[in-house]
């Protein structure tokens, strides 16, 4: 099957963005050093057998151009992160320097509650609180 198996987050301030994702989502981030182009491996968690949604791991790379200014149309894949409590996560995002993108919305078909935010570098991401089945 042709599944997405890796993601990358682009950042000018790698340390600040690493701190944001560690504090908001509890992700592990490992700096691979200058020999690897300052690439940072991101581990989002362990797969949970039988879970409705499982995740992928990825990386963080130095941004090669300017950060988004805001208001541009989406021009990349947008990753959505499964969370246990969307309201608590939204508060952590705001406290960590993330910004508003959309209101919370219920996803039809008993999928859950979804919202979009931007990290401190302007990268768009989604968060979803799945409905427990």
Q: CA 65 to CA 60: how far, in whole Å?
A: 15
For residue 76, tell me if it sits in a domain. Answer: yes
pLDDT in tens, 82-131: 999 999 999 999 999 999 999 999 998 889 999 999 999 999 999 999 99
For residue 1, tell me if it sits in a domain. Answer: no
For residue 38, tell me if it sits in a domain. Answer: yes
Query: Token match 């042709």: residue?
Result: 2
pTM of the model: 0.87
Q: Which residue, 29, 45, 36, is CA-closest to 82?
A: 45
Can you say whether residue 125 is alpha, beta or left, with left for phi > 0 and alpha for psi between -120 and 50 degrees? beta
For position 1, what pLDDT does the model report? 65
State the CATH number of the domain containing residue 88.
3.10.180.10
Q: How confident is the model at residue 68 (pLDDT cuts 50, 70, 90)?
A: confident
Structurally, how many domains does the chain consist of?
Answer: 1
Pairing of strands 6-11, 57-62: parallel
Angle between helices 14-25 and 86-95 (to 10 degrees): 150
For position 77, what pLDDT does the model report? 86
Task: Provide the residue range defining the domain that includes 93.
Answer: 6-130
End-to-end CA distance of the chain: 25
Quote the longest CA-to-CA distance of the chain: 47
HSE (side-chain half, CA atoms, 13 Å) at 14 = 19
For residue 39, tell me if it sits in a domain. Answer: yes
pLDDT in tens, 13-37: 999 999 999 999 999 999 999 889 8
Q: How confident is the model at residue 75 (pLDDT cuts 50, 70, 90)?
A: confident
């Amino acid at each position: 099957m042709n599944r997405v198996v890796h993601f990358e987050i682009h950042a000018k301030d790698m340390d600040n963005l690493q701190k944001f994702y560690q504090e908001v989502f509890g992700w592990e981030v490992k700096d691979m050093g200058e020999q690897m182009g300052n690439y940072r491996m991101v581990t989002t968690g362990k797969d949970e057998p039988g879970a409705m949604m499982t995740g992928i791991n990825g990386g963080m790379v130095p941004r090669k151009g300017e950060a988004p200014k805001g208001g541009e149309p989406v021009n990349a894949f947008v990753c959505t992160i499964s969370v246990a409590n969307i309201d608590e996560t939204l508060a952590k995002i705001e406290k960590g320097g993330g910004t508003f993108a959309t209101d919370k919305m219920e996803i039809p078909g008993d999928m859950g509650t979804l919202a979009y935010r931007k990290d401190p570098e302007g990268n768009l991401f989604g968060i979803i609180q799945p409905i427990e089945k």
